[in-house]
Amino acid sequence: MIGILVNKYMDYTRIYLNLIEIAKEQQVERYTEMHHIIPKSIGGSDNAENMVKMTLKQHIFAHKLLYLMLRDTFPNLIHAVAQFWRDDNKYRIEYRKNHKMPGWVRRCATVRASQNYKIARKRAIVGLNLNDIDK
């Protein structure tokens, strides 16, 4: 199952897998979040073996690592990182009071959103042209 995550960013992969193992073994009494070891957006499931309980900081770090590991194949993973600074979850709001969104996350998310917009716009234009041709 983890084989999908192995790529040229081996150091990120090793760190990520170590983080997952630590999270599986830890007993935490404060706020935690459930993390998909293999994200649903790239084929992961909600099965118990694909889920691990993490602290908020671990969860943010896990998503940073996933993005760094898989950015060439799944560039939209940046949005999962940026989402930690956009949610209305009270624990995430509290975290944001002392931790602003890193500049690299903001830049990558903005660039990717712009690319997604351009792709969607091209698809819409092509769709309009095809519909006009059919008439």
Give 20-45 pLDDT, tens digit per residue. Answer: 999 999 998 989 999 999 999 999 99
User: Which helix (H) or strand (E) covers residue 70, if one does?
Assistant: helix 56-70
Would you state the structure tokens that stand for residue 3, as one six-digit string?
């084989």
For residue 69, tell me if it sits in a domain.
yes
Would you state the structure tokens that stand for residue 83, as one six-digit string?
């989402």
For residue 127, tell me if it sits in a domain.
no
| Alpha-carbon gap, residue 120 to 109, rounded angstroms | 16
Q: What is the mean pLDDT of the chain?
A: 83
Residue 77 amino acid letter: L
pLDDT at site 83: 87
For residue 120, tell me if it sits in a domain.
no
For residue 134, tell me if it sits in a domain.
no
Would you state the structure tokens that stand for residue 65, as one six-digit string?
């690592």
For residue 40, tell me if it sits in a domain.
yes
CB 50 within 8 A of CB 37: yes
| Alpha-carbon gap, residue 50 to 34, rounded angstroms | 10
> Angle, to 10 degrees, between the axis of helix 10-25 and the axis of helix 56-70?
150
pLDDT tens-digit series, residues 42-77: 999 999 999 999 999 999 999 999 999 998 899 889
122 versus 38: which is more confidently predicted? Answer: 38
With a pLDDT cut of 70, the percent of the chain lying above it is 85
Mean pLDDT for the stretch of residues 105-122: 83
Closest listed residue to residue 33, CA positions, set 49, 56, 67: 56
For residue 123, tell me if it sits in a domain.
no
Domain count, the chain: 1
For residue 93, tell me if it sits in a domain.
yes
The boundaries of the domain holding residue 83 are 2-100
